[in-house]
């Protein structure tokens, strides 16, 4: 049995063991919790010892997150290439995804049935031109007759005047003078009849030429209609859909291809009525595509729908993005920001602030024994545990984000593994 002295020492030994186990289980505080226990650990820091700190590099960012609207990219315009004539599709030179240029021939329809109207129209045109030639010949003959009758009229008129003068002197009989006058009047009527014939023939010629012009239009229409057998791209773009295949019989109006214009790309987003005040036609916006995460596109609001969805109260807004290199395709997820980009400021965690002051790592201190200095800063907005620094700290400078104990100007510090 232990004596009385030994029995009195058992409680003391048990107490010391309990304290040892407690200190072992707690261990040193990790650097992450240094800011939560600055005072408690500060009591254990001896004078001249380096204090463990988390050092961060000041960076610029924005505290306020602008609202993004999502949409899907579509071609600036989509054109359906349709058949304008009836016929069997002989061939297509392009497939989905192929790029086409405006005016490029991309298919052919059988035009055998379109040649007959052209031949008939050309034959009728030739007949009308022959008629014009015949009328011209008649006009030429009529003009010759007019010239002949004019000369005859002039001769008989001169004879009549001479005989009238002789009759007045009594040199010839009055009946002879009257006969000469009658012959002159008859020649005048013949001349007028010849001139009228020319006029009528000229009218016939004008009508015949009109029929020729009309028939020429018929021929041109038939030729143009035959040209519709060639399928020509109306725009420059890319083939989106190939609707039919060679061998199928096409009727006028049947769709053959869908072509998208990717010189520009549209994005349609749904904006709430509360956000509509921030949007206007012609407004420049920022667009980001998940397909190209490292690039920001500058778009422009091209259209705002006047009608909102009656159920969701959302207004469709159309944004146009330039796409000169045509790398943006259709169906890509787009994120649109209608707010102007704000000027970025230095942002630090609020844990780094101590009564409007921060500690910065001295650039002239050695790497083995780094020191810090206190600095006054002007703060701005505070959101979600972060604060803007308006002045007193520049981007790129190193500051103490958290410390394992109280700091003072010129104090020696020890950088934790969490430091930048």
Looking at 316, 337, 358, which one is the last position of a domain?
337
Within-domain flag for 22: no
Within-domain flag for 282: yes
Within-domain flag for 8: no
- Please answer whether residues 412 and 48 qualify as being in contact, where contact means their C-beta atoms are separated by less than 8 angstroms: yes
Within-domain flag for 69: no
What tokens does 289 get?
């595509």
pLDDT of residue 54: 86
Buried b (16+ CB within 10 A) or exposed e, 136-154: eebbeebbebbeebbebbe
Within-domain flag for 241: yes
Q: Per residue in 279-335, pLDDT tens?
A: 999 999 999 999 998 899 999 999 999 999 888 889 999 999 999 888 999 999 999
pLDDT of residue 408: 83
- Residues 388 and 354 placed together within one structural domain of the fold: yes
- Residues 106 and 239 placed together within one structural domain of the fold: yes
- Residues 402 and 361 placed together within one structural domain of the fold: yes
- Residues 164 and 177 placed together within one structural domain of the fold: yes
- Residues 59 and 141 placed together within one structural domain of the fold: no
- Residues 358 and 223 placed together within one structural domain of the fold: no
pLDDT of residue 366: 65
Three-state SS at 283: coil
Burial class (CB within 10 angstroms; exposed 0-12, middle 13-18, buried 19+) of 209: middle
Please give the Cα distance from 124 to 385 (Å, whole number): 91
- Residues 106 and 118 placed together within one structural domain of the fold: no
- Residues 302 and 354 placed together within one structural domain of the fold: no
Cβ within 8 Å of residue 275, ≥6 positions away:
67, 69, 338
- Residues 117 and 223 placed together within one structural domain of the fold: yes
- Please answer whether residues 336 and 375 qualify as being in contact, where contact means their C-beta atoms are separated by less than 8 angstroms: no
The enclosing domain of 97 has a CATH number of: 2.40.50.100
The enclosing domain of 319 has a CATH number of: 2.40.30.170
The total of other beta-carbon atoms located within 10 Å of residue 261's CB is 20
Q: Print the domain residue range for 316.
A: 262-337
- Residues 212 and 140 placed together within one structural domain of the fold: yes
The domain total for the chain is 4
pLDDT of residue 5: 41
- Residues 118 and 106 placed together within one structural domain of the fold: no
Q: Per residue in 265-275, pLDDT tens?
A: 999 999 998 88
Within-domain flag for 68: no
The enclosing domain of 389 has a CATH number of: 2.40.420.20
Please give the Cα distance from 257 to 91 (Å, whole number): 13
Within-domain flag for 71: no
Strand bridging mode 378-383 / 333-337:
unpaired
Low-confidence ranges of the chain (pLDDT < 50): 1-45, 47
- Please answer whether residues 393 and 345 qualify as being in contact, where contact means their C-beta atoms are separated by less than 8 angstroms: no
- Residues 140 and 285 placed together within one structural domain of the fold: no
pTM of the model: 0.56
Within-domain flag for 289: yes
Q: Which helix (H) or strand (E) holds 218?
A: helix 174-227
Looking at 212, 227, 242, which one is the last position of a domain?
227
CA quadruple 360, 362, 366, 369: dihedral sign? negative
Looking at 305, 337, 369, which one is the last position of a domain?
337
């Amino acid at each position: 049995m232990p004596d009385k002295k030994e029995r009195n020492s058992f409680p003391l030994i048990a107490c010391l063991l309990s304290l040892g186990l407690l200190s072992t289980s707690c261990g040193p505080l990790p650097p992450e919790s240094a800011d939560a226990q600055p005072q408690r650990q500060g009591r254990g820091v001896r004078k001249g010892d380096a204090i463990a700190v988390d050092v961060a590099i000041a960076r610029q960012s924005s505290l306020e997150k602008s609202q993004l609207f999502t949409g899907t990219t579509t071609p600036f315009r989509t054109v359906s290439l349709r058949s304008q004539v009836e016929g069997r599709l002989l061939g297509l030179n392009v497939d989905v995804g192929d790029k086409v240029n405006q005016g490029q021939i991309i298919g052919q329809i059988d035009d055998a049935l379109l040649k007959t109207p052209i031949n008939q129209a050309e034959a009728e045109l030739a007949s009308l031109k022959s008629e014009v030639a015949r009328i011209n010949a008649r006009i030429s003959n009529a003009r010759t007759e007019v010239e002949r009758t004019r000369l005859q009229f002039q001769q008989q008129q001169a004879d009549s005047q001479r005989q009238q003068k002789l009759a007045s002197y009594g040199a010839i009989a009055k009946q002879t003078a009257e006969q000469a006058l009658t012959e002159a009047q008859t020649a005048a009527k013949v001349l007028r009849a010849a001139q009228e014939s020319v006029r009528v023939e000229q009218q016939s010629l004008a009508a015949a030429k009109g029929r020729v012009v009309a028939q020429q239009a018929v021929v041109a229409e038939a030729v143009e209609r035959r040209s519709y057998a060639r399928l020509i791209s109306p725009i420059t773009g890319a083939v989106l859909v190939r609707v039919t295949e060679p061998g199928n019989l096409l009727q006028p109006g049947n769709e053959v291809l869908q072509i998208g214009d990717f010189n520009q790309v549209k994005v349609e987003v749904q904006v709430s009525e509360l956000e509509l005040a921030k949007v206007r036609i012609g407004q420049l916006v920022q667009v980001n595509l998940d397909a190209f995460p490292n690039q920001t596109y500058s778009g422009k609001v091209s259209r705002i729908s006047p009608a909102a969805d009656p159920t969701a109260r959302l207004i469709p807004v159309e944004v146009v993005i330039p796409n000169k290199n045509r790398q943006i395709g259709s169906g890509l997820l787009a994120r649109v920001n209608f707010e102007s980009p704000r000027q970025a400021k230095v942002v630090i965690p609020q844990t780094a602030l101590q009564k409007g002051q921060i500690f910065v790592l001295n650039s002239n201190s050695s790497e083995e024994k780094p020191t810090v200095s206190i600095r006054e800063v002007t703060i701005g907005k505070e959101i979600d545990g972060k604060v803007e620094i308006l002045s007193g700290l520049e981007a790129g400078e190193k500051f103490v984000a958290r410390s394992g104990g109280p700091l003072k100007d010129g104090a020696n510090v020890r950088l934790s593994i969490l430091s930048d």
